[in-house]
DNA sequence: CTGAAAGCGCTAACAT
DNA sequence: ATGTTAGCGCTTTCAG
């Protein structure tokens, strides 16, 4: 017990004593409240320095009911979170925004459905002031858990229900998909296939809808469902090629899947874009610029969307539960943009 | 104020009242202490369920001085964290282990040196019971900050100083590197180059040392420093090829760099492994199995190392500051293994 | 085995 | 402007 790490951290009380003021005044100085005369404040600050005082967060949280921490929950049973750069970028945006507002990011990974209970407990435990939830699949119970736990939430990607006080941030998946297909059409493609994402996610469905918008009444076999992995993209591509040897254009619902498709096309000896033009979605630079040929794609500003999620959540927390403020906050749908590289 | 989210969460007090017991007894049941008679315990449990009681963490932390939360600090100014699968795997391992012990993972990202102060404040704030620090570069102040904050720490990768109570987990970088080069030698390579990682990190230095062990007195121009990115690998490869057109073997200090090297080799028309044999390091499956040709590499069990870090830290926390337990805990160096695929 | 009571360190009314 | 005081919700001796 002689270990130095056992030296009790100084308390506000100690600081106050050393500065010769009351705990309240010390607290005021530490928290930057107005109305403390300069000399006193100075003394307190000195005491803080000398003692190396750091506020005890637990005590503070207990009374303020604020943790300055936000949970990021990834509803991805597969461990796509770590292999797909999409998440990385989004988390980066979130992290930046949170940091700028002195909030901590608490990452909650769910490896499987078993983990949901744990996450629920955590959210309910009052550890965090809010939650950012990603990558929802059909019937995901996470948002419900968060709501029951009374934790303000913002969702990444349009949820599959609509409800005025569910806030989300998404890009215009459908519009972007339309643009992708139109580009293919403009290039003169006659037989265009679609590699869709998992259709239990709205982003996939919306992109598929956009595809159909541009190609009404298309043969459903021209649509192959992937899983947002390179492998899945490859497989879907293979299927499409098998069914339609005359395929001359492909719109993949993600760059990652497009990269898989490109690979397969190469092994099959199809030239891109001469034989088959390919358009992706996301514009994940580390993927799109590195494929061979570089990928034409639909850009969404993923990092910025992350920031927006964080900002929206912080505002919602700020507003508290006060209903009056509710209408002022609304979900955000960002615009997409066609980025032409070499693949189409 | 009629917002349902304002409904005060039930307290232990409420549970106790409903179960007709004292707060103390309720607490015992909730925390699974022995010595509460079954019928009473049952009543408490029912009350918990009915009320949907969840302990307030702040209150608990205030008294127990435990947060059941561990910080993962990534000392990577560049945002390699998110682009390099290495980190992803390690974090996955950590996450699993932490979860298994009901600890939360708090991710602290540092985008630049400015963030260090914030991290220091956070660690000092008593938010977490311990810290896992990654990817240290020379003279990194993070470990010092953690120590000053009195936060038990385990480091990922051998630090550049040694000190009996600094705990770390690393693989046998030097031995692995030796194995890589020997494999190349066994294959008959006569002119072997090395693509090193940034030499301000011990893992890079250790691998370089291993390279030199197997090839004593080698021309220093056969060593090109990369930066653990594919691009860096490409550039280093180009340099090596320029200086040594007769190069017939390359050991890259990471799979990611090796993938860049492979790409460059292809654009230069060198066949792998016929003209130039390539060995990587890490065995990151998503990289090594997907390169063309698939990469021969040195495997380290990254996820397992993550688990080990977490386990070690948890034990250290468990032991408290008690010096008696110190000697029992020591750093871990894991073995590596050559995995032969097609590139060498 | 169970309950009463004393804080953990801090903030926020409320006094002064 | 500063100090006094009352808790925040929980765990944990200490009595009974």
Q: Write down the domain spans for chain B.
A: 4-64, 69-171+303-333, 173-299
Chain B residues with beta carbon closer than 8 angstroms to that of A79: 92
Q: What is the pLDDT of residue B325?
A: 52
User: Strand C closer than 7 Å to the CB of A336?
Assistant: no
Chain A, 89-128: which have a CB under 8 Å from a chain B CB?
89, 91-92, 95-96, 99, 102, 104-109, 111, 115, 118, 121-122, 124-127
CATH class entry, domain B173-299: alpha beta
- Residue A293: is the preceding peptide bond cis (ω within 30°)? yes
The full DSSP string for B285-308 is: HHHHTTSSSPPEEEE--HHHHHHH
Q: CA(A23)–C1'(C16) in Å?
A: 16
3-state secondary structure of B71: strand
Q: What is the pLDDT of residue B79?
A: 63
| Residue bearing tokens 């927390």 | A317
What is the phi/psi pair of residue A322, to 5°? -55, 120
- Nearest residue: Cα versus C1' of C7: B63
Report pTM: 0.85
Nucleotides of D under 7 A from a protein CB: 1-5, 7-13
Q: How many Å from the N-terminal Cα to the C-terminal Cα in chain A?
A: 69
Determine the Cα–Cα distance for residues A120 and A143; give it in Å rounded to an integer.
10
A11 CB near a chain B CB, below 8 Å? no
What is the phi/psi pair of residue A156, to 5°? -90, 115
Joined tokens for residue A310: 């964080």
Q: What is the pLDDT of residue B235?
A: 97
Query: Among A228, A218, A168, which Cα is nearest to A195's?
Result: A228
Strand partners, A193: A250
Q: CA(A146)–C1'(C3) in Å?
A: 36
Nearest nucleotide to A62 by CA–C1' distance? D8
Q: Give domain B69-171+303-333's CATH number out of 3.40.50.150, 1.20.1250.20, 3.30.420.40, 3.40.50.2300.
A: 3.40.50.2300
Q: What is the pLDDT of residue B321?
A: 58
Percent residues over pLDDT 90 in chain B: 63
H helix or E strand, kind and range, residue A97: helix A85-100
Domains A69-171+303-333 and A173-299 share a fold: yes
User: Strand C closer than 7 Å to the CB of A68?
Assistant: no
Q: CA(A332)–C1'(C4) in Å?
A: 54
Residue A3: which of B85, B286, B322 has the nearest Cβ? Answer: B322
Residue B315 has pLDDT above 70, yes or no: yes
Query: Among B41, B38, B115, B104, which Cα is nearest to B69's?
Result: B104
Residue B3: which of A83, A122, A321 has the nearest Cβ? Answer: A321
B319 CB near a chain A CB, below 8 Å? no
User: For residues B113-142, b (16+ Cβ closer than 10 Å) or e, as one string?
Assistant: eebbeebbebbbbbbbbbbbbbbbeeebeb
Joined tokens for residue A62: 């207990």
B246 CB near a chain A CB, below 8 Å? no
- Residue B137: is the preceding peptide bond cis (ω within 30°)? no
Q: What is the pLDDT of residue A4?
A: 41
Q: What is the pLDDT of residues B189-226, one digit of tens each?
A: 999 999 999 999 999 999 999 999 999 999 999 999 99
Instruction: Return the residue of B nearest to A54 by Cα.
Output: B125
Record: fold of B4-64? 434 Repressor (Amino-terminal Domain) (1.10.260)
Q: What is the pLDDT along chain A (344 residues), one digit of tens a residue?
A: 334 444 668 899 999 999 999 999 999 999 888 888 888 899 999 999 999 888 988 999 999 988 889 999 987 765 677 777 788 889 889 999 998 898 888 888 887 777 888 888 888 888 899 999 988 888 888 898 888 888 999 999 999 988 878 999 999 999 999 999 999 999 999 999 999 999 999 999 999 999 999 999 999 999 999 999 999 999 999 999 999 999 999 999 999 999 999 999 999 999 999 999 999 999 998 788 878 899 999 999 999 999 999 999 999 998 875 555 556 789 999 999 999 999 99
The predicted model gives B238-266 an average pLDDT of 97
Strands of B117-200, DSSP E: 130-134, 153-156, 167-171, 192-196
Determine the Cα–Cα distance for residues A67 and B261; give it in Å rounded to an integer.
47
Residue B302 has pLDDT above 60, yes or no: yes
A230/chain B closest Cα distance in angstroms:
10
């Amino acid at each position: 017990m002689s270990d130095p790490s056992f030296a009790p951290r100084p308390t506000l009380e100690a600081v106050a004593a050393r500065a010769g003021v009351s705990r309240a005044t010390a607290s005021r100085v530490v928290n930057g409240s107005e109305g403390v005369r300069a000399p006193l404040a100075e003394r307190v600050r000195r005491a803080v320095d000398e003692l190396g005082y750091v506020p005890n967060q637990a005590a503070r949280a207990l009374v303020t009911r604020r943790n300055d921490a936000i949970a990021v929950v990834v509803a991805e049973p597969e461990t796509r979170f770590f292999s797909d750069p999409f998440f990385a970028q989004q988390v980066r945006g979130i992290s930046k925004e949170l940091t700028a507002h002195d909030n901590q990011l608490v990452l909650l990974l769910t490896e499987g459905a078993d983990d949901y209970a744990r996450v629920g407990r955590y959210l309910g435990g009052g550890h965090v002031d809010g939650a950012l939830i990603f990558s929802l699949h059909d019937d995901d119970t996470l948002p419900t858990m968060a709501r029951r736990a009374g934790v303000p939430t913002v969702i990444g990607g349009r949820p599959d229900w609509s409800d005025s006080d569910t806030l989300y941030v998404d890009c215009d998946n459908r519009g972007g998909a339309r643009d992708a297909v139109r580009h293919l059409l403009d290039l003169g493609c006659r037989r265009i296939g679609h590699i869709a994402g998992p259709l239990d996610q709205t982003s996939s469905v919306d992109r598929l809808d956009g595809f159909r918008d541009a190609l009404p009444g298309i043969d459903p076999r021209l649509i192959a469902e992937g899983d947002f992995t390179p492998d899945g993209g490859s497989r879907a591509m293979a299927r499409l090629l098998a069914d339609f040897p005359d395929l001359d254009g492909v719109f993949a619902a993600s760059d990652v899947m497009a990269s898989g498709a490109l690979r397969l096309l190469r092994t099959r000896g199809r030239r891109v874009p001469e034989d088959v033009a390919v358009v992706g979605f996301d514009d994940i630079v580390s993927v799109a610029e590195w494929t061979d040929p570089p990928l034409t794609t639909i850009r969404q500003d993923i990092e910025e969307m992350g920031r927006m999620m964080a900002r929206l959540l912080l505002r919602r927390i700020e507003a508290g539960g006060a209903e009056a403020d509710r209408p002022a906050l609304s979900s955000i749908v960002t615009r997409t943009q066609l980025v032409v590289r070499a693949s189409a």
